[in-house]
C-alpha cells in the first residue's frame, strides 16, 4: 500500500491550486504537482449525501468518497464484490443475505458493519423517507425490511422478486453506505459534509468553485495513486478546454465537439466513449395542451432529429430511435421513432384544435451535460427554429443546472423541457422506469406521464427472473411509448472527456461517473 505523504512542497502546491481554482477563465495557472489531480466539470454538485441527489455532478464526487455493497467493474456494469464480500439470493428472489467486509472504517473513525447498512437503507424507507430523496423509491422501493443477522451479516427482505435489485445496489446514488454517526451529527447539513468509507475523504466544498478531497490514510484497500483531488467548477466548455491546455486542469468532461480538434493538436488525450444515456425533450403531460397524445405526436413530427444531431453534435452522438441505447438489453431494433414530417405535424395540430398554431414555453439548462455536450440552450434554440416552421412559437427560459430541476418542477406555465439521463446500472428498467407513474412524485418522471399499461408492464418485467421474458416485455413497452410520445428522443451522446498528456489510467465509467483513485500524473 502506498503511504500518503504530506510534504511542505505539497502544502505549497495546494495553497497555489486553491487560489487558482477560484479564479475565472482569464486567469490561468499550471498545476505541476504530481500529488494533485484537478478534474474540471461544468457545474457544482447539488449535494453530497447520496440519498438527497440525482445528478451526475454529485455522483462523480460521491463515488470517490463512498462505497456500495456491490460495485461495477471498472469498464462495465458487471457486478463484483464491494463492501460485501459475497451474497446469496433465496429461491423465490425475495431475500438477499450479504456477508460484509471486516476491518473497514468510515472517514470519521466509525466502524463499518451491518448496523451501518441497515441505517443507510432504513433512512430511505417509509416512514423515514422524505420527498427530497429522489432515488429512494427507485432503488429501495421493493425493500420490506433490513435485518442485522450479526455484526458482519445483513439480510434484505423484499416484498416481491426484483430482477434489477443487485445492480441497483451498486449505483452511485441512494445505494452508497453512509456513516450513521456523521448523519446524526450533521443532520440536514450532511449533504455538505459527506462521510463514507471510500478511498478519498472530504476536505471542503467552496460552492461554485471547487470540491477538495484527500486520500483516506485508513482506507481498507490500496491507497489512491494521487493524494489529493480537486473537482473544479468551470461552467464554460471553451474555458475548460483552455484550462486543460494550459495545465490549470488535468482532466475535463463536457468537451464541446468544436474543441476536439484543437485539443488533439495540443497533444491532449481526447476520449469519445459510447454513452449509456439519452438526450430528450419531454412534454409536460399532466396539463393542456400536451395531456393530449395527438398534440405530442404533432410536435414530434415537427422535429428533424437527423438535422439536429448533425448540426450540433457531428460525429459525437447518434440519433435515438428509442429511449434505450442500442447496446442495452431489451432494445427493440424495429423502432425508428416518429419521423420528421412537417406537413403531418400541421395536420395533427389542426385536428387537435390548433389550425393556426400555438405558443408554448420551454425550459432548458444552460451548461453542458454528458448526454448533450453543447448545452441545453443551443439545443433549445435549434428546436425552437424547427417548431416555428409548423406554426409553434416557443419561448425559451434557461437556468443553471443546479437550479434547473427546481425550476422545472415548481414553475407554472411550462409546456416543454429538455432533459436527459445517464444509465445507472445497465438494466433496461433503469431507463424505462423514468416513465412510471410513481416516479412523478420522486421527480425522476420529468414528463409527468402516467399510463397504467406502462406501469403494469414495468412491474411484470421487474418481478420476472427469466431474462429472456423480461426483454420481450420491455420491447412491448417501448412500442407503446413510441405511440404515446411523452418524449422526443433526440440522441445518445458519446461521452466526451479529455486529459493532459501526462495523465495515466483515466477512464470514464459507462454509468457516467469517474473513479479517480487509480489515476496518476507521470
Degrees, nearest 5: CA angle 258-262-265: 145
Question: Which of 315, 197, 293 has its CA nearest to residue 485?
Answer: 293
pLDDT reported for residue 274: 82
What residue ranges in 129-245 does DSSP mark as E strands? 143-150, 153-158, 200-206, 210-215, 228-233
Statement to judge: residues 400 and 443 lie in one domain: yes
Nearest to 276 by CA among 148, 152, 132, 421: 421
How far from 262 is each of 238, 242, 245, 267, 504, CA to CA, in Å?
11, 10, 9, 9, 21
User: Do 327 and 375 belong together in one domain?
Assistant: yes
Structure confidence at residue 201 (pLDDT)? 98
CB atoms within 10 A of CB 311: 12
Q: Per-residue b/e over 424-440, b at no fewer than 16 CB within 10 Å?
A: bbbbbbbbbbbbbebbb
CATH number at residue 259: 3.40.190.10
Q: What's the domain range around 361?
A: 277-493
Please tell me the predicted confidence (pLDDT) of residue 338: 96
Whether 80 and 108 share a structural domain: yes
One domain for residues 348 and 291 = yes
Collapsing DSSP to helix, strand or coil, 293 comes out as: helix
Give me the CATH number covering residue 81: 3.90.76.10
The radius of gyration of the chain from alpha carbons, rounded to an integer in Å, stands at 23
Could you write out the three-class secondary structure of 441-509? HHCCCCCCCCCHHHHHHHHHHHHCCCHHHHHHHHHHHHHHHHHHCCEEEEEEECEEEEECCCEECCCEC
Give every residue of the chain whose pLDDT is below 50, as ranges.
Answer: 1-28
Full-model pTM: 0.79
pLDDT tens string 198-255: 999 999 999 999 999 999 999 999 999 999 999 999 999 899 999 999 999 999 998 9
Count of domains for the chain? 3
193 is a domain residue: no
User: Percent helix, strand, coil in the chain (nearest 5)?
Assistant: 30, 25, 45
Half-sphere exposure in the Cβ direction for 377 (13 Å, CA) = 9
pLDDT tens digits for 85-97?
A: 999 999 999 999 9
Amino acid at each position: 500500500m502506498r503511504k500518503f505523504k504530506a510534504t511542505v512542497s505539497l502544502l505549497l502546491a495546494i495553497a497555489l491550486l486553491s487560489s487558482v481554482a477560484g479564479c475565472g477563465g482569464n486567469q490561468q495557472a499550471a498545476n505541476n504537482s504530481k500529488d494533485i489531480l484537478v478534474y474540471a466539470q461544468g457545474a457544482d454538485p447539488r449535494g453530497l449525501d447520496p440519498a438527497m441527489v440525482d445528478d451526475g455532478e454529485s455522483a462523480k464526487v460521491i463515488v470517490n468518497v463512498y462505497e456500495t455493497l456491490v460495485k461495477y467493474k471498472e469498464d462495465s456494469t458487471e457486478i463484483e464484490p464491494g463492501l460485501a464480500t459475497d451474497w446469496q439470493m433465496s429461491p423465490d428472489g425475495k431475500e438477499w443475505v450479504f456477508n460484509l467486509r471486516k476491518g473497514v472504517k468510515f472517514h470519521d473513525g466509525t466502524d463499518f458493519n451491518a448496523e451501518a447498512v441497515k441505517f443507510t437503507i432504513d433512512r430511505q424507507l417509509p416512514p423515514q423517507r422524505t420527498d427530497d430523496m429522489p432515488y429512494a423509491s427507485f432503488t429501495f422501493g421493493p425493500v420490506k425490511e433490513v435485518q442485522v443477522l450479526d455484526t458482519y451479516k445483513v439480510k434484505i427482505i423484499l416484498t416481491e422478486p426484483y430482477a434489477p435489485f443487485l445492480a441497483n445496489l451498486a449505483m452511485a446514488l441512494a445505494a452508497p453506505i453512509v456513516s450513521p454517526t456523521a448523519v446524526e451529527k450533521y443532520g440536514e447539513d450532511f449533504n455538505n459534509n459527506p462521510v463514507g468509507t471510500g478511498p478519498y475523504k472530504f476536505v471542503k466544498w467552496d460552492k461554485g468553485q471547487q470540491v477538495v478531497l484527500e486520500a483516506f490514510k485508513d482506507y481498507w484497500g490500496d491507497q489512491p495513486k494521487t493524494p489529493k483531488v480537486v473537482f473544479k467548477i468551470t461552467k464554460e466548455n471553451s474555458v475548460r478546454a483552455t484550462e486543460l491546455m494550459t495545465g490549470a486542469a488535468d482532466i475535463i468532461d463536457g468537451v464541446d465537439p468544436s474543441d476536439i480538434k484543437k485539443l488533439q493538436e495540443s497533444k491532449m488525450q481526447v476520449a469519445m466513449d459510447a454513452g449509456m444515456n439519452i438526450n430528450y425533450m419531454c412534454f409536460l403531460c399532466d396539463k393542456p395542451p400536451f395531456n393530449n397524445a395527438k398534440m405530442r405526436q404533432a410536435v414530434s413530427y415537427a422535429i428533424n432529429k437527423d438535422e439536429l444531431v448533425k448540426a450540433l453534435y457531428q460525429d459525437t452522438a447518434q440519433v435515438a430511435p428509442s429511449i434505450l441505447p442500442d447496446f442495452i438489453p431489451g432494445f427493440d431494433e424495429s423502432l425508428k421513432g416518429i419521423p420528421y414530417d412537417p406537413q403531418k405535424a400541421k395536420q395533427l395540430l389542426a385536428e387537435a384544435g390548433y389550425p393556426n398554431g400555438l405558443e408554448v414555453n420551454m425550459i432548458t439548462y444552460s451548461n453542458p451535460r454528458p448526454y448533450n455536450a453543447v448545452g441545453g440552450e443551443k439545443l433549445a434554440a435549434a428546436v425552437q427554429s424547427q417548431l416555428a416552421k409548423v406554426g409553434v412559437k416557443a419561448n425559451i427560459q434557461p437556468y443553471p443546472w443546479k437550479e434547473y430541476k427546481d425550476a422545472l418542477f415548481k414553475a407554472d406555465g411550462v409546456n416543454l423541457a429538455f432533459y436527459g439521463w445517464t444509465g445507472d446500472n445497465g438494466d433496461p428498467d433503469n431507463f424505462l422506469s423514468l416513465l412510471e407513474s410513481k416516479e412523478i412524485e420522486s421527480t425522476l418522471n420529468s414528463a409527468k406521464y402516467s399510463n397504467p399499461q406502462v406501469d403494469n408492464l414495468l412491474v411484470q418485467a421487474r418481478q420476472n427472473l427469466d431474462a429472456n421474458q423480461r426483454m420481450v416485455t420491455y420491447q412491448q413497452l417501448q412500442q407503446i411509448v413510441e405511440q404515446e410520445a411523452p418524449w422526443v428522443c433526440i440522441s445518445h451522446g458519446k461521452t466526451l472527456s479529455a486529459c493532459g498528456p501526462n495523465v495515466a489510467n483515466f477512464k470514464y465509467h459507462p454509468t457516467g461517473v469517474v473513479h479517480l483513485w487509480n489515476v496518476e500524473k507521470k
